[in-house]
């Protein structure tokens, strides 16, 4: 008998977002919800992709509110907060370029040595 179709609830979406915000592996989140990893990624993709960012913003907001109310520790933490720099976009490397890089990185003393001219690396 097939399992019933998954219908994510608001509570489950919030749990996934919180777990993703702490860096919990997707396999662990799926196990906690008693679903497969593929179902998790299919039904909770948005929460997995942006959950960490949204939860971090909520923590920063809470820290700001505490700082405004006069918490010296929150004021110091808020003023010392440094946002993470975005990662540069990944450069796409085609098959030919990968093969050329692999050929150029062949080293003497490896299985590639026999294929190199005179057994030397250029």
pLDDT in tens, the chain (122 residues): 677 788 999 999 999 999 988 889 999 999 999 999 999 999 999 999 888 788 888 888 999 999 999 999 988 988 887 776 665 666 777 788 777 777 666 555 666 666 666 545 55
| Greatest pairwise CA separation for the chain in angstroms | 75
Same domain, 20 and 51: yes
Same domain, 15 and 69: yes
Same domain, 66 and 23: yes
**How far is Cα of residue 58 from the mean position of the Cα atoms in its chain?**
19
Structure-block tokens of residue 65: 């509110």
Whether 88 is in a domain gets the answer no
Same domain, 76 and 104: no
Distance from C-alpha of 40 to C-alpha of 51, rounded to nearest angstrom: 13
Provide the residue range defining the domain that includes 30.
Answer: 10-81
Split into its structural domains, the chain has a count of: 2
**How far is Cα of residue 105 from the mean position of the Cα atoms in its chain?**
29
pLDDT the model gives residue 119:
47
Whether 5 is in a domain gets the answer no
pLDDT the model gives residue 94:
77
Same domain, 57 and 115: no
Distance from C-alpha of 30 to C-alpha of 33, rounded to nearest angstrom: 5
Helices (H), 69-111: 72-80, 95-104
């Amino acid at each position: 008998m097939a399992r019933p179709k998954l219908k994510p609830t608001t509570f489950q979406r919030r749990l996934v977002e919180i777990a993703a915000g702490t860096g919990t592996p997707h396999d662990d989140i799926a196990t906690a919800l008693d679903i497969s990893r593929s179902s998790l990624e299919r039904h909770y993709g948005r929460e997995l992709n942006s959950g960490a960012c949204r939860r971090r913003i909520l923590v920063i907001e809470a820290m700001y509110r505490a700082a405004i109310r006069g918490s010296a520790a929150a004021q110091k933490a808020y003023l010392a907060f440094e946002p993470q720099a975005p990662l540069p976009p990944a450069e796409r490397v085609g098959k030919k370029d990968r093969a050329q890089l692999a050929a150029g990185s062949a080293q003497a003393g490896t299985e590639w040595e026999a294929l190199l001219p005179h057994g030397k690396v250029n």
